[in-house]
Structure 1
Amino acid sequence: MEQSTHILLLPDDCLYFIFQRLDSSSDRDAFGLTCHRWLRIQSSCRRSLHFQCSFSHRTPVSLPQDPISIGYLHLYRVLNRYPHLHSLSLCGCTELPDSGLSILMDYGPRLTSLRLDCCFGISDDGLFSVARGCPHLIDLSLYRCNITDTGLKALSESCLALEDVNLSYCSRVSDTGIRALSQNCRRLRAINISHCRGINGTGFEGCSCSLAYLEADSCKLDPKGIRAMLSGGGLEYLDISNLSWCIQGHGFAALDTRLASKLTVLNFRVCRHIDDESVARIARGCPSLREWNLALCHEISVVGWESIAMYCCALEWLHVNRCRNLCDRGLQALREGCGRLRKLHLGRCCRLSSTAIEVFKLLRGDVVVSDEEVMCIAPR
């Protein structure tokens, strides 16, 4: 007698195998609508969860839905449904309180990525929950969170696997918190401290991590702080745009090129006081530079442009937008040097003639000339 077969008789392992090979999102959603068992399999296969809008008492629950829109009182229910998450984003959940993160004590151990951007209600108490509940975190974003050095210290003592941390616009963080991260989290490779006005950079002194990416736009860095930032010797990407102090004369000793030899991307946008001596020293000491943003750096004259042309042999992207002292001779030097240049961001340079620009385009047909002001290389 023939034995009847039916897809519902398949063991869970086979259903997992089928689900993981569904390419269409609509097919994957439909899979969970078949029955409770298939819904459980669908839920257990989910590894990433993104909340797109604000947590509030008024936000209705709608499940299943992708991206999910949900109120914070139901966060427990959702995390219970998806028990194997590796990545969780709560970006924009402006009303999420510290207490809302306490459930990470039960559901956080598997998380490797957590994003809390614009969660204005999250302070050190919430970060304590993250530290205790998510020991395997690799990627953490705290953009505009209301945290302090106390929370960062607790985080650094528990989340030792951290590699990428975003602290931009965390105005209450200082070098004390940065020191805790840089000394305890030895795998740390990327950190963003942009617009953290309480940081001068000295917290990176003696860091034990292999830091490769550092973004410090609009920070109040001082020469000693920049020396500390470079002290590890492994930086490949450095953004110190909108620097408020003058990198010239003795102050430029802060940028020790012996420690900056691995730099491939350097952003000096709106560092208006960087001079020819500074540019020449960087050009000679950073042979690996592929992208250099000097937009709105007004003190660079012909001597500086000639140094770039002569020494920046690996340079592929150069930004010179709105540089007041870039003249025809300076552009000629760039045209005759920088053999690997692929893109020149050139716009609103008042001393450049249209003839010089056209000659550059004619003789360097391999270079794309653009007036846009954006960084070209993906930093990570």
Structure 2
Amino acid sequence: MPQCGIDYTNSLPDECLALIFNYITTTNDRNNSSLVSHRWLRIESQTRTSLTLHAPSYLPLSRIPSIFTRFNSLTELVLRCDLYNTSINDHKLSLIASRCPNLTRLELRMCYNITDKGMAILSRKCKKLKKFLCFGGGFKAKGIITLLDGCSSLEELSVGYLDSGRLFEPLIIGSSSLKTLKMTRLSGRDWDTCLEMIAVSALSSLQVLHLEKLLYCTNTGLICVVEHCKYLKKLCIDNCEWGEIGNEALIAIAKYCLNLEELVLIGVDACRISLEAIVVNCRKLERLDLCESKAITDVEISYIAEKCVALKKLLIKECCVSDKGIEAFAMGCSTLVEIRVTKCENVTHEVKDRLRARRGSLVVELDAVTTKAMNAIIGEVQEHAAEVPPAAGHVAVAEPLNQSMYLLDLEAIVVNCRKLERLDLCESKAITDVEISYIAEKCVALKKLLIKECCVSDKGIEAFAMGCSTLVEIRVTKCRNVTHEVKDRLRARRGSLVIELDAVETEAVNAIICESGAQEHVAEVPPAAGHVAVAEPLNQSMYLLDLGS
């Protein structure tokens, strides 16, 4: 803005400013832009098309109109709740649906208070719906069929974590226009029969199919599906818990899915014969993920490197692969752009250097270096157990490398890993103020620290006010005993330290929107990145709006 204080954007018509906002793609930039003035706030809200709303039962009914009056151009909406709260009910869903008649995509997450009545309301008020995603809900077959009757243009259906998963069969069978079908952890005892009925009735135009952890789904059901899916481009099979899908189904995929571009296999023990059939027949295959399979060895990987003519991205996870198999891509598969190898114990960091020496443009991501470093730590702990006592309340247990997890004594890591610059501690009840204080005192090179869902309070975080002088950034999230006051105390002592706390975020967003939906003191209270909030003052009934781009 010129020094004379004249805002030349005031001369721009609203339509022109709205067009400019449409070119701002990141949520953070849009939020920051909306703080310039009330006019910019209004225009930014009117041009936003995607919104995520935290929708617990305590969401005030009086606030819903103001939220959707502000965001009146929505075409995509996510309503989500959590395990600790009950969700909104049919009445509130009705009010939301009446304010969003142009919705084309709706996602419901853990909204167990929404019943068949709510689905009927959606079918009447959101007739343009093309994508419906549901992960946990209280509605049954009647509600699903009603939704289908009102949303005849439905193209994408994703359902998961439902106790009555088989009741979605009528919806799928009646949706002849479906192009995307994703089913995750649905109950039911005869998915083969269900998939056969679905395939014959509805899947002729299907392009994307995800079958993830379906109980009693075998080769028979999948073969019937792929026989009728002539246009299938993306296929994901997560079979890791039951292992009832194997080579017979993969050979059928190779035979019928000639247009396949992406294939994800998790827990599927594919042998060379089935992989050879896929590589030979699926000439358009650009992405291949092979995960959690002991049958995938260097022989299969070398064949893929030799024969795949269009492959661009490859992921290998928890397979019996070594450097020899990975090194085959140094000369083979010239179209490959990116290769990722994770949790393959026989792959070392040396193969990464050899690949880069041959193919400098190839993006190579290996966790072999991390694995090697961790093994060194375990060895050090085992050899010097008497020299390095464990932290209070902990015992360092080093299990063999094929075990799923073992507890590394934090004190041993801090003492021995003198070059440690980044440390993430997530989802552990064993991490308390004692451990965090020790890290603040003893870490000599730490620059970045993340603490998530641990039993930590302000006392532990405040230890970094004086300790760990090298620390540049600290992030604390989902730690309920950490409050926003500790951020002020840290900043008072260490002004240059980057601090991100979701406790502060909760307080800050409460002040952003007043009851009318308009912002007061807009320039004074910046929103947290990616969020706008509407809060009930002076109590805990706060709900968060995660705004899409």
Is TM-score (shorter-chain normalized) higher than 0.5?
Answer: yes
1:30 aligns with 2:38: yes
CA shift at 1:299, angstroms? 0.7
Residue 280 of structure 2 aligns to a residue whose secondary structure is helix
Cα separation, 2, equivalents of 1:15 and 1:322: 57
Corresponding residue number in structure 1 for 2:196: 202
CA 1:323–1:100: 2 relative to 1, 3 Å: same
CA 1:257–1:147: 2 relative to 1, 3 Å: farther
1:308 aligns with 2:304: yes
CA 1:15–1:349: 2 relative to 1, 3 Å: closer
Aligned residues: 335
Corresponding residue number in structure 2 for 1:89: 78
Contact 2:72 2:100 in 1 (8 A): no
Q: Deviations 1:78-120 (Å, cap 9, x if unpaired)?
A: 5467666433332338420123223467445432232322322
Q: Deviations 1:168-227 (Å, cap 9, x if unpaired)?
A: 3233222x52453354241x2223212224355435312255222222222233223212
1:229 aligns with 2:220: no
Q: Deviations 1:335-378 (Å, cap 9, x if unpaired)?
A: 332111122212443344665554334323332221269xxxxx
Which residue among 284, 288, 298 is the counterpart of 2:284? 288
Corresponding residue number in structure 1 for 2:373: none
Cα separation, 2, equivalents of 1:297 and 1:148: 36
Corresponding residue number in structure 2 for 1:192: 182
Unaligned runs of 5+ in 2: 1-11, 22-32, 369-549
Residue 147 of structure 2 aligns to a residue whose secondary structure is helix
Q: In terms of mean alpha carbon deviation, does 47-56 or 285-294 score higher?
A: 47-56
Which one scores higher on RCO, CA 8 angstroms, separation ≥ 6?
2
Cα separation, 1, equivalents of 2:288 and 2:253: 17
Cα separation, 2, equivalents of 1:327 and 1:86: 48
Q: Deviations 1:265-285 (Å, cap 9, x if unpaired)?
A: 1111332x2222221121112
Residue 113 of structure 2 aligns to a residue whose secondary structure is coil
CA 1:147–1:56: 2 relative to 1, 3 Å: closer
**Structure 1 segment 1-380 matched on structure 2, within 5 A:** 17=15, 20-21=18-19, 23=21, 24-27=33-36, 30-31=38-39, 45=46, 48=49, 50=51, 52-57=53-58, 70-72=59-61, 74-76=63-65, 78-79=67-68, 85-92=74-81, 94-103=86-95, 106-174=98-166, 177-186=168-177, 188-198=178-188, 199-200=191-192, 201-206=195-200, 207-208=202-203, 210-220=205-215, 221-230=217-226, 231-243=228-240, 244-248=242-246, 250=248, 252-253=250-251, 255-271=252-268, 273-324=269-320, 326-352=321-347, 358-371=353-366
Larger Rg: 2
Unaligned runs of 5+ in 1: 1-13, 34-38, 58-69, 374-380
Cα separation, 1, equivalents of 2:360 and 2:20: 47
Contact 2:68 2:96 in 1 (8 A): no
Contact 1:169 1:196 in 2 (8 A): yes
Q: Tell me the amino acid that sits aligned with residue 31 of structure 1.
A: R
Residue 267 of structure 2 aligns to a residue whose secondary structure is coil
CA shift at 1:48, angstroms? 3.7
Residue 320 of structure 1 aligns to a residue whose secondary structure is strand
Q: In terms of mean alpha carbon deviation, does 331-340 or 154-163 score higher?
A: 331-340
User: Percent of aligned pairs with the same residue?
Assistant: 21
| TM-score normalised by the chain length of structure 1 | 0.75
CA 1:281–1:183: 2 relative to 1, 3 Å: farther
CA shift at 1:77, angstroms? 5.9
Q: Deviations 1:207-254 (Å, cap 9, x if unpaired)?
A: 25522222222223322321243222212111112342344454545x
Residue 106 of structure 2 aligns to a residue whose secondary structure is strand
| TM-score normalised by the chain length of structure 2 | 0.54
